[in-house]
Structures are given as structure tokens and as C-alpha cells.
């Protein structure tokens, strides 16, 4: 992510304005952007959808009282509904140059 900090077109294509503002206000923006990207990957894997199906801009990582949350757009909400997902829990961690995210999907049995 460090190479992409100055590439506004890339940042706008991948991250929400709120994510960009949050990261760029921190002393090490790259680690926060990497965490937001890791959240996308973790959600895509948790749902078995892949990044191509969920889209990079279908979700955003928001921070409330220092805690990260997933904000889900309407297209991803449809996938959630089809899969029976009622909640998505997010955990982010950073260590040096590494960011990791874990997403746990909670819900009901999907419609058949």
C-alpha cells in the first residue's frame, strides 16, 4: 500500500472517502489502508464469494469509538440476504508492515 498512497485514482477506485480520510489522518496511512483492503479479502473469503463478486467498493470499514465495523452497500446486502447473513463481525490487526483482518459471518440458514 505504501506505493499507492500518492495515487489518488487508485485510492478512489478501491476505498471510500471515509476510509481514505481516516487513513490519511493517521501517522502511517498505508497500514490503515492495508487493513481496509484485508477486510475486503476476509469478507470475500468468509462468504465464499471472492473479491470479483463482492466488488471493492461494495463495503467500507468504519471506525466508531476506535472499533472497526463493516459498512455494507446495497449490492453486498443482496448477497448477504441470499446467504442468510445477518451480521458481519470484523477484527483488524497491524504489526509492522503487515495488516490482517478476520471476518465472521453470523446468520440463519440460507434460503434454498
Question: pLDDT tens for residues 2-20?
Answer: 888 888 899 999 999 999 9
Helix axes 29-47, 74-83, angle to 10 degrees: 40
The stretch 61-71 carries a mean pLDDT of: 94
Domain residues of the chain, as ranges?
2-107
pLDDT band at residue 97 under the 50/70/90 scheme: confident
Selected from 3.10.290.10, 3.40.462.10, 3.30.2290.10, 3.90.470.20, the CATH number assigned to the domain covering 2-107 reads 3.90.470.20
Does 112 score more than 90 pLDDT?
no
Q: Give the pLDDT confidence score for residue 3 in this predicted structure.
A: 87
Average pLDDT of every residue of the chain: 92
Would you call 89 helix, strand, or coil by DSSP? strand
For residue 70, count other CB atoms closer than 10 A to its CB.
19
C-alpha cell at 23: 487513513
27, 45, 49: which is closest to 100 by C-alpha? 45
Average pLDDT (81-101) is 93
Render pLDDT for 25-54 as a digit per residue (tens, 0 to 9): 999 999 999 999 999 999 999 999 999 999
Considering the entire predicted model, what is its pTM? 0.90
Mean pLDDT of all residues in 80-94: 94
Amino acid at each position: 500500500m505504501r506505493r499507492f498512497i500518492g495515487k489518488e485514482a487508485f485510492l478512489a477506485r478501491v476505498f471510500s472517502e471515509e476510509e481514505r480520510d481516516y487513513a490519511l489522518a493517521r501517522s502511517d496511512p498505508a497500514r490503515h489502508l492495508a487493513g481496509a483492503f484485508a477486510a475486503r479479502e476476509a469478507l470475500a473469503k468468509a462468504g465464499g464469494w471472492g473479491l470479483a463478486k463482492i466488488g471493492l467498493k461494495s463495503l467500507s470499514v468504519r471506525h466508531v469509538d476506535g472499533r472497526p465495523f463493516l459498512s455494507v452497500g446495497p449490492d453486498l446486502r443482496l448477497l448477504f440476504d441470499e446467504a442468510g447473513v445477518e451480521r458481519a463481525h470484523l477484527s483488524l490487526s497491524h504489526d509492522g508492515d503487515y495488516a490482517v483482518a478476520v471476518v465472521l459471518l453470523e446468520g440463519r440458514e440460507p434460503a434454498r
